[in-house]
Amino acid sequence: MEPAGFSLGLVAALIASLSVLMVGGVDPLTVAGESPDRKHHKLEMDQAILSVYNELSEELVVSWLSDHCYHCKFQKLGNVSSKKRLGLQQKHPGNSSFTIDTKHAVMLQLNTSVEVCRVHESFGELGHYSLWVTKANWSNANGTVTCKTIIDKEPINSNLPILYAFLVYVGLVILVCLGQFVQGLSPVKNLLFRLSSRVEMERLINSELGSPIRVADSTGQSNLVPGRSAGSQRLRSLDTLRGLALVIMIFVNYGGGRYWFFKHESWNGLTIADLVFPWFVFIMGTSIALSLNAALQVNRSRWKLLAKVAWRTAALVLLGIFIINPNYCKGPLSWDTLRIPGVLQRLGLTYGVVAVLEILCGKGYPEGFALDNWWSPARDVLIYWPQWVFILLLECIWLCVTFLLPVPGCPRGYLGPGGIGDFGQFANCTGGAAGYIDRWVFGEDHIYQHPSCAILYKTTVPFDPENLLGLINSIVMAFLGLQAGKIFLIYKGQNKQIVLRFLFWSVLLGVISAILTKCSKDHGFIPVNKNLWSISYVTTLSCFAYILLLLIYSAVDIKKYWTGAPFYYPGMNSILVYVGHEVFEHYFPFKWKMLNDCSHGEHLAQNLVATTIWVIISYVLYKKKIFWKI
């Protein structure tokens, strides 16, 4: 029986999330009383004001370059006029004010007819800064030019709302734990039993049917899945990890408080948002191994299993294309701009390939194979060698297409973002072969129009992060999750062996990632890249997934220190929650008009409230035993 206090804790979490509204609201500033230009700048999130004062006799050109932009060209920020004569003796420095991005440190370049100086600076959100350009020796035409930055107004700490929200949720966890402890005390337990018995007796007396419709389980445990016997076991750790990935996915999809690290990385590298989709794919592969193994053990027809897989694949793809349509506001059948690739489409096709592979090569009782052979320690790989051959061939196809396919106007094997990246040489080559294939197969109007690289790298070519070529590595990711499922099956009941195998795979995949990336963000053979679903991205995220599954499996299923709540509940209803959060994203109570649209605090509160509501919905569905399976 689930502790009653937990449901109260979830409701409290929703209310507590609203408190973040009180701590993050900093109004965007319209500056007055500053320089003539500065008062016209209205600041938004992740922006600061920079006023440049020019005491030179020539006009300045100010350019900027983000540290996060790899091999990029400087971008012009604006001009600053030369020193102006006000009277016979007095001269006033020319000045201009600019809004500047604060997400990452930037390099400022100041030029006249030649480069004057460069300034490397990290600007804080809503801060006011002055940059003075002066000459040290006016009597000498070749005097040294100095560039000095001064803070006129201190920036705000935009990360405080995250700290407050974290403390609120930690407090709620403590309250829930205390509530469960109090419920476990004998006097409280006896009181609750007497009250529940009295309520049940009154219900029976007042019932027209005269008898209850449910019979309590004598073991005190309820079935986790409809149709399963009370004795069947389900790994809570899998649903917990799936739910964790889903909850983070909902939070970042809703905006993540508009923090840059809760959004997808511009190109190479990882943010929190880049972790969750691969984990979801990984756990899908693990679940395929366990569910199909159960079907094969009872000798289910493989043809019927193939038909069921085909149905599920088609259902997921159609849901992604027609239900979760980002252009639905233009009409239910806006064919001209309908996006064909997508998250559910990627999930459906990945599921279809990996499930068919397991149906054709899977074994009902793998734990009994090759126990006496010398290669027994590697039997979780060797007895499935046809699957591994297929996966390695798939990966060879990805490598060959990525690095050998000729793309018009682009170098072979190009993995960059295009735009101003690579110093602007390949502006229309975004994604290399992956982008070219999508534009050729689907057409530019039917893929994602606003890729994450567009803002930083100034790209103008559409690029879809769920691209067709990346499907290959998505299948590889699911297959590595399938491998985790086989470890569960082959070493059933041997918890130490399961943990050691998970550790082995995480180390192996980590070593492969280190070699491919040279332990760097941009300088490796194949950088970690979510947009391309590069092989290094798959091995890195699979390494993390094995470690995370090891920890959750140990805490939830072995030691039972944790029930998996609250992530367990959305993990049990993942498709319903994912589709629901996409369809109702723009409706109250998941979104409302904010008092200050330029406040990280209010956005964070709104996104936390929306995410918490979906956790509550999944909890209620779990208690009602409503599970939507495709």
- Rounded CA gap, 578 and 232, in Å? 27
Residue 277 near residue 249 (C-beta atoms within 8 A): yes
Q: Could you tell me how far CA 135 lies from the centroid of its own chain?
A: 49
Average pLDDT over residues 99-122: 91
Pairing assessment for the beta strands 94-101 and 91-92 based on DSSP bridges:
unpaired
Q: Decide which of 118, 153, 188 is a domain's last residue.
A: 153
Residue 9 lies in a domain: no
Task: Give the Cα separation of 518 and 398 in Å (integer).
Answer: 20
pLDDT band for position 196 (cuts 50, 70, 90): low
- The lowest-confidence range among 183-192, 261-270, 305-314, 462-471 is 183-192
pLDDT band at 193 (very low <50, low <70, confident <90, very high): confident
Mean pLDDT taken over the chain: 83
Neighbours of 208 (CB within 10 A): 4
Query: Catalytic residue numbers?
Result: 264
* 402-410: average pLDDT: 94
Per-residue pLDDT, 189: 76
Whether 365 and 514 map to the same domain: the answer is: yes
Helices (H) and strands (E) in the chain, counts: 17, 10
pLDDT band, very low/low/confident/very high, at 281 (cuts 50, 70, 90): very high
* DSSP result, 46-76: TEEEEEEEE-SSS-EEEEEEETTSTT---EE
pLDDT average, residue stretch 207-232: 35
Kindly state the percentage of the chain with pLDDT values over 90: 54
Cα separation, 309 vs 315, whole angstroms: 10
* Residue among 582, 575, 574 at smallest CA distance from 610: 582
Q: Average pLDDT, stretch 376-402? A: 92
Kindly indicate the confidence band of residue 488, based on its pLDDT and cuts at 50, 70 and 90.
very high
Residues 139 and 254 in one domain: no
What local confidence, expressed as pLDDT, does residue 26 receive? 41
130 and 244 in a single domain? The answer is no
- The answer to whether residue 11 scores a pLDDT higher than 50 is no
Confidence of residue 233 (pLDDT cuts 50, 70, 90): low
End-to-end CA, the chain: 27
The pLDDT of residue 372 is above 60: yes
pLDDT class for 239, splitting at 50, 70, 90? very high
> Would residue 569 count as lying in a domain?
yes
- 136 with 273, same domain: the answer is no
Phi, psi of 158 (to 5 degrees): -75, -10
HSE value, Cβ hemisphere, 13 Å, CA-based, for 250:
32
Domain-embedded: residue 174: no
Burial of 235 (0-12, 13-18, 19+ CB in 10 A): buried
276 shares its domain with 424: yes
Is omega for the bond preceding 589 within 30 degrees of 0, making it cis?
yes
| Confidence (pLDDT) at 327 | 55
Question: Is 441 in the same domain as 535?
Answer: yes
Q: Please tell me whether residues 254 and 137 are part of one structural domain.
A: no
pLDDT band, very low/low/confident/very high, at 184 (cuts 50, 70, 90): confident
Between these two residues, 189 and 272, which has the higher pLDDT value? Answer: 272
Q: Is the pLDDT of residue 355 over 90?
A: yes
**Least confident span in 56-65, 89-98, 573-582:** 89-98
Bridge partners (DSSP) of residue 48 are 100
CATH number at residue 56: 2.60.40
- The residue with greater pLDDT, 32 or 7, is 7
The Cα-based distances of 522 to 70, 71, 269, 516, 540 in angstroms read 7, 10, 8, 11, 15
Domain boundary among 153, 180, 205: 153
SS3 state of residue 63: strand
At 45, is the pLDDT very low, low, confident or very high (cuts 50, 70, 90)?
confident
pLDDT at 224 over 60: no
Joined tokens for residue 546? 């094995």
Report the run of H or E that residue 91 belongs to, with start and end: strand 91-92
Residue 325: pLDDT band (50, 70, 90) is: low
Q: What confidence tier does 142 reach under pLDDT thresholds 50, 70, 90?
A: low
Residue 13 maps to a domain: no
Position 333 scores a pLDDT of 57
* Burial of 269 per CB tally in 10 Å (0-12, 13-18, 19+): middle
Res. 508 pLDDT band, cuts 50 70 90: very high
599 falls within a domain: no
Q: Which residues pair with 97 in a beta bridge?
A: 51
Residue 84's pLDDT is 67
Taking the C-alpha atoms of residue 322 and residue 318, their distance in angstroms, rounded to an integer, is 6
* Mean pLDDT along residues 549-570: 93
Average pLDDT over residues 242-253: 93
**The pLDDT of residue 367:** 74
405 with 264, same domain: the answer is yes
Whether 518 and 382 share a structural domain: yes
Residues 404, 539 within the same domain? yes
- The per-residue pLDDT for range 154-181, each reduced to its tens digit, is 998 888 999 999 999 999 889 888 888 8
Host domain of residue 42: 38-153
Percent of the chain with pLDDT over 70: 83
Lowest mean pLDDT among 275-279, 331-335, 374-378, 519-523: 331-335
Looking at 99, 126, 153, which one is the last position of a domain? 153
- From 441, 419, 446, 420, select the one nearest 430 (Cα to Cα): 419
Strand runs (DSSP E) across 415-535, as ranges? Answer: none
Tell me, yes or no, whether 600 lies in a domain: no
Tens of pLDDT, residues 64-87: 999 999 999 899 999 988 876 554
| Amino acid at position 421, single letter | G
Chain position carrying tokens 């917990």:
240
Q: Which of 370-374, 475-479, 597-601 has the highest mean pLDDT?
A: 475-479
Conformational region of residue 256, where left means phi above 0, alpha means psi within -120 to 50, and beta covers everything else = left
Tell me, yes or no, if the pTM score tops 0.75.
yes
Q: State the pLDDT at residue 179.
A: 83
CA of residue 497 relative to chain centroid, distance: 31
Query: Cis before residue 566, ω within 30 degrees of 0?
Result: yes
Secondary structure of residue 145 in the 3-state scheme: strand
Instruction: Provide φ and ψ at 596, rounded to 5°.
Output: -135, 100
98 occurs within a structural domain: yes
Answer with the residue of higher pLDDT: 460 or 325.
460
Do 259 and 400 share a structural domain? Answer: yes
Query: Are 457 and 364 within one domain?
Result: yes
**The pLDDT value given to residue 223:** 33
Number of domains in the chain: 2
Residue whose C-alpha is closest to residue 437's, from 510, 373, 507, 533 = 533
Confidence check: pLDDT of 276 > 50: yes
606 assigned to some structural domain: no
For the residues 251-278, what does the mean pLDDT come to? 92
> Is 198 a residue whose pLDDT tops 90?
no
